[in-house]
Amino acid sequence: MNLDDLADKAEEYRNQDPDITHEARVCMAASCQSSGAPEVMAALHRALTAIPPPAPGERQGDVEGDAERDGDSEGDGTMAGAGLAGPADRVTRGHRCKVKGVGCMGLCSAGPLVAVAEKGAELMASTLYREVRPEDAPAILASVAGPPVARLHCPTDQPFFARQQRIVLENAGVIDPDSFKGYVAVGGYAPLVQALTEMTPAEVLREITLSGLRGRGGGGYPTGLKWSTVAKMPGERKFVICNADEGDPGAFMDRAVLESDPHRVLEGMAIAAYAIGAAKGYVYVRAEYPLAVERLTTAIRKAKRAGFLGGKIAETPFSFEVEIRLGAGAFVCGEETALMASIEGNRGQPRPRPPYPAESGLWGCPTLINNVETFANIAPIVRHGGAWFAGIGTEKSKGTKVFALAGTIENTGLIEVPMGTRLRDIITAIGGGIPGGRAFKAVQTGGPSGGCIPAEHLDIPVDYDGLKTLGTIMGSGGMIVMDETADMVDVARYFMEFCMSESCGKCVPCRAGTQQLHALLDKIAKGEARHQDLALLEELCEVVQATSLCGLGQTAPNPVLSTLRFFRDEYEAKLCAP
C-alpha cells in the first residue's frame, strides 16, 4: 500500500453514507459518560426512530450507534439502522442525520456534551450543546435544520474553544474512537505509510529532532535525542513502550487521548518503532481506566486486521506488534524503570539509572519509553514536517500542551494551547476564572512533583523553562486551581500524604522521609509546631530531594518548598510558640 492507495481509502470512507449530511456527536468519554451521556445517546436514537415512517420510496435514515459499532463483518462502525430509524429529512428538511459517539470535546464540566455538525466538520464549526438531558433529544435533532436550541447552546466561539490550538486533540470529539474507518477518513495512518514507504528511519529521526518535541510525561527530555540514542544502540531486539500510567491527582490528559483517538497513539508508536528498529511495543495503562483499555484493545484489533499493525505493515518488511499491560494503580509504576520491572512481571520498584532504558531496558534490551501525548504528536509531525511543529510554541518548548483544568475554576476540562501561552489566559480566558466571585489564589502544576504559582506570577508564559524559574514544573499537564479559601499548608500536606502512601518503600529517604515530612506538616496544620519544626521540615526536604532514588522521592518535597516560597506567612501563622 502506498500513500495514494490510502488516500483513495480515506476518500471512500468519507463518502460511505452519501445521504448523511449531519452528525449528532455525543461525547462518550469517561467524564460525560458518568454525567449521563449513554442515556442521551439512547434518547437521540429513540428520537430518530420516533420520526414518522417515510413516504413510499423514500430512503431510510441511517443510524450509527454505540451498540452497533462492532457489528459488521469488517469489524467497523457503520450499520444501517434499517427499520430502526425514520427518515431524518422529515424533521430536518433535506438533511439526514446520524448519531455518533465521539471522544472528549474538552468542556467536561458542562457534560454531557452533544455537538451537531456537518459530516466531518471540526469541533469549532459545530453547534455545541451543554448539560444535555435525554428529554432534549427531539429538540436537538430538530435543530439540525433550524436555529440552535438556545437554552442548551454552548457557543464554540467563546474563549474556552477559540483560544485553543488542537493538534494532539484534533480528532477528539470529532471521530468515533472505535471506528478504524473514521480515523483513516481524517487522514489517519497516512503518516505511518509515508514514513514506511518514503522515508528512511534516519529521515524520520531527523524530522522528530527538527520538531523540537520534548517528552510530555513530565521530564521534558528531547524526544528526537531519545529516539536517536535508542536507534544507535547495538542489539537485535528493541522495544517501544507507551507510558499511560497517568497517576497524578487531577490529571486526565492521557486518558482523554486514549479514549478519544487511540489509533493516533498506536500510529505514533509504530512510527517510533520503525525509526529505532523495534518490532514489539507495550502500552502500559492503569487498570483504573477501563474505557481507555477497551478502546485501545479495539483499536489494536482493528489496526491489526487492516494491516497497520502486525507483520509486513503496508506491504513493507516492517513488522510491529503491540500488547497492552495493565498497571495495578501504583503511582510509582509510571516511573520508567519501575514500569519496566512491572512489565517483566516483577515488583514495580525503580532501580538506579544509569543504565537508562535506552541502553538497558525491558529484559536488558534497548527500550524507548514515551508518554501517550508524546506519541500523539508524532503523526502530525511526520505529516506536516518537523519545521512546521517547531514554528509553534516558544524557543525551547515547541508545539502545544494538553492541560487538565481542575479545582475551583469555572470551566473544568481538557484544553490544548500552544507552549508559551500566558497562565492568565489559561485561567481567566479559557478557564473562565474562579466561580462564585472569589479571588484566585494559586494554581498547582506538575501535581505532587510540582509546585504552586501565586497570583503575582500569572503572566508567566507556560513552557518548560518558564515554570522552572518559579520552582515548579510543567509536569504531565495537571493544573489544579485554588481560590482564596485554600489553605496552603493543607495543600502541601495533601500532596505529601499522596507521596507517602505512594512511596514504593525501596529507598530510605523517600520511605521514611516522606512519612516524617507528613507528620511535621500535620503538626504545623494542627497548630502544634514550633519554629524548630519548620527548620527541620526544610532540612528534611533538602535531604529527601537530594538523596532519593527515583523521581517520586526527589520531587516529593516540591509542593512544600513551593508553598514555603510563596506562602511562608501561612506556615508561620500556625506556629504555636516562637
Partner 1 sequence: MPPPPTPANVRVVTLTIDGQDLSARADETIIEVCRENQIPIPSLCYLDGLSIWGACRLCLVEIAGQGRLFAACATQVAEGMQVLTNTERLRRYRRTIVELLFAERSHICSVCVSNGHCELQHLAQTCGVDHVRVPYRQARYQMDSSHELFRLDHNRCILCTRCVRVCDEIEGAHTWDLMGRGSDCLVITDLAQPWGDSETCTGCGKCVQVCPTGALVKQGTSAGEMVKDQHFLPILARRRQAR
Ligand X SMILES: Cc1cc2nc3c(=O)[nH]c(=O)nc-3n(C[C@H](O)[C@H](O)[C@H](O)COP(=O)(O)O)c2cc1C
Contacts with ligand X, 228-257, as mask; x by CB under 6 A: ---------------x-xxx----------
Q: CA-CA distance, 213 to 187, in Å (whole number)?
A: 22
In this complex, which beta carbon is closest to ligand X, that of residue 221 or of residue 363? 221
User: Per CB under 6 A, which of residues 297..336 are in contact with ligand X?
Assistant: 331-332, 334-336
Judged by CB under 6 A, the stretch of 217-225, 288-296, 453-461, 480-488 that binds ligand X is 217-225
Report if residue 92 touches ligand X, rule: CB under 6 A: no
Q: What is the spatial distance between Cα 508 and Cα 119, in angstroms, rounded to a whole number?
A: 58
- Select the residue interacting with partner 1 from 74, 505, 526, 573 (CB under 8 A): 505
Which of 217, 418, 454, 475 binds ligand X (CB under 6 A)? It is: 217
Q: How far is the CB of 372 from ligand X (least distance, A)?
A: 7
What x/- string results for residues 174 through 193 when contact with partner 1 is judged by CB under 8 A? Answer: --------------------
Residues in the chain: 578
CB of 116 to partner 1, least distance (A): 49
Judged by CB under 8 A, how many residues of this single chain contact partner 1?
A: 31
| H helix or E strand, kind and range, residue 403 | strand 400-407
515 binds partner 1 (CB under 8 A): yes
User: How far is Cα of residue 98 from the mean position of the Cα atoms in its chain?
Assistant: 27
DSSP result, 210-246: HHT-B-TTTT--BHHHHHHHHHHS--S--EEEEEE--
Interaction partner, residue 516 (partner 1, ligand SF4, ligand X, none; CB < 5-8 Å by kind): partner 1
Considering only 156, 209, 503, 555, the residue that binds partner 1 (CB under 8 A) is 503
Non-local CB neighbours of 26 within 8 Å, separated by 6+ positions: 32, 37, 40, 41, 44, 99, 100, 101, 102, 112, 113, 114
Nearer to ligand SF4, 200 or 501 (CB): 501
Q: What distance, in Å, lies between the first and last C-alpha atoms of the chain?
A: 76
**Coil vs helix vs strand at 70:** coil
Among residues 552, 556, 560, 564, which is the contact residue for ligand X, using CB under 6 A?
552
Residues 337, 533: Cα–Cα separation, whole Å:
35
Nearest-10 crossing angle of helices 3-14, 190-198: 170
Burial 305-318 (b: 16+ CB within 10 A, else e): ebebbeeebbeeeb
Q: Among 32, 240, 500, 564, which residue interacts with partner 1 (rule: CB under 8 A)? A: 500
Residue 246 site contact among ligand X, partner 1, ligand SF4, none (CB < 5 to 8 Å, cut-off depends on kind) = ligand X
329 binds partner 1 (CB under 8 A): no
Q: How far is the CB of 235 from ligand X (least distance, A)?
A: 20
Shortest distance (Å) from residue 355 CB to ligand SF4:
16
Return the amino acid letter for 29: A
> How far is 115 from 105, CA to CA, in rounded Å?
9
Find the binder of partner 1 among 513, 521, 560, 567 (CB under 8 A): 513
Supply the DSSP string of 73-131, one letter for each residue.
TTS-S----TTT---HHHHHTT--EEEEEE---S-GGGPSPEEEEETT--GGGSEEE-S
Adjacent-strand bridge partners of 322: 281
Residue 463 is a binding residue for ligand X (CB under 6 A): no
The angle subtended at Cα 213 by Cα 208 and Cα 214, nearest 5°, is 130
Residues that bind partner 1 (CB under 8 A): 330, 332, 347, 351-352, 354, 500-509, 511-516, 519, 536, 539-540, 543, 546-549
Residues that bind ligand X (CB under 6 A): 215-219, 221, 243, 245-247, 331-332, 334-336, 369-371, 374, 476, 550-552
